[in-house]
């Protein structure tokens, strides 16, 4: 996590960075589940990662990525990050009990992706975006809520009741910037 520029004091960036920490932490159980070779344990751990990761990526894409991609300076980098969201979906789906190499590929890709956001995109956003841009990011970023059943919704109240209800297979994470670019 970036700690040198203060970008984490911007509400949405601070939220995304905190979610990154949560995702990395739950990935530890995923690693242990893969190593255990137990199918049920892997399924449970994969669901726990998915329930954090996919609402997070949808929120990034719907708000911050969409606003930043309008600037040609950031458009290619945003496209790369969008592609990495899709790659993470594939890598997560390919995990099988006992396959430590597949787990290493997923975890390396996840950590590399988070590093690009925490130490690249987020500090750049803190410098590049102005007041109206941040208002737009806030207004278009689906909310995260604490509670027993995680859910994501935008201001128009269109949402899945839980992250596990949504189809998170590659290319189907919703009408976000990244999926719109593929269409």
Could you tell me the residue ranges of all domains in the chain?
9-141+162-182
* Residues forming beta bridges with residue 153, ordered by sequence position: 143
pTM to 2 decimal places: 0.79
Our measurement of the distance from residue 142's CA atom to the centroid of its chain's CA atoms, rounded to an integer in Å, reads: 12
Gap between the Cα atoms of 150 and 128, Å rounded: 31
Average pLDDT over residues 143-168: 42
pLDDT band at 151 (very low <50, low <70, confident <90, very high): very low
Q: Where are the alpha helices (DSSP H) in the chain?
A: 11-36, 39-60, 66-69, 72-93, 100-116, 122-128, 131-140, 177-182
Gap between the Cα atoms of 72 and 60, Å rounded: 18
Any idea what the Cα angle at residue 96 is, between residues 61 and 182, rounded to 5°?
A: 25
The per-residue pLDDT for 177 is 56
The per-residue pLDDT for 11 is 75
Average pLDDT over residues 35-64: 96
Average pLDDT over residues 10-18: 85
- Mean per-residue pLDDT over the chain, rounded: 82
Per-residue pLDDT tens over the stretch 104-147: 999 999 999 999 999 999 999 999 999 999 999 999 999 875 43
Instruction: Retrieve residue 119's tokens.
Output: 């130490």
pLDDT surpassing 70 at residue 183: no
Contact 25/89 with Cβ under 8 angstroms? no
């Amino acid at each position: 996590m970036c700690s040198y520029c203060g970008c984490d004091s911007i509400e949405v960036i601070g939220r995304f960075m905190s979610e990154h920490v949560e995702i990395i932490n739950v990935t530890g159980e995923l690693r242990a589940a893969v190593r255990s070779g137990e199918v049920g344990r892997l399924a449970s751990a994969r669901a726990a990662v998915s329930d954090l990761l996919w609402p997070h990526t949808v929120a990034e894409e719907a708000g911050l990525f969409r606003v930043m991609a309008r600037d040609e300076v950031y458009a290619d980098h945003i496209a790369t990050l969008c592609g990495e969201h899709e790659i993470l979906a594939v890598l997560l789906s390919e995990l099988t009990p006992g396959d430590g190499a597949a787990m290493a590929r997923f975890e390396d890709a996840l950590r590399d992706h988070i590093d690009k956001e925490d130490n690249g995109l987020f500090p750049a956003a803190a410098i590049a975006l102005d007041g109206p841009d941040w208002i737009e990011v806030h207004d278009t970023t689906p909310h995260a809520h604490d509670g027993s059943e995680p859910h994501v919704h935008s201001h128009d109240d269109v949402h899945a009741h839980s992250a596990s209800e949504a189809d998170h297979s590659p290319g189907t994470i919703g009408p976000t910037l990244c999926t719109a670019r593929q269409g």
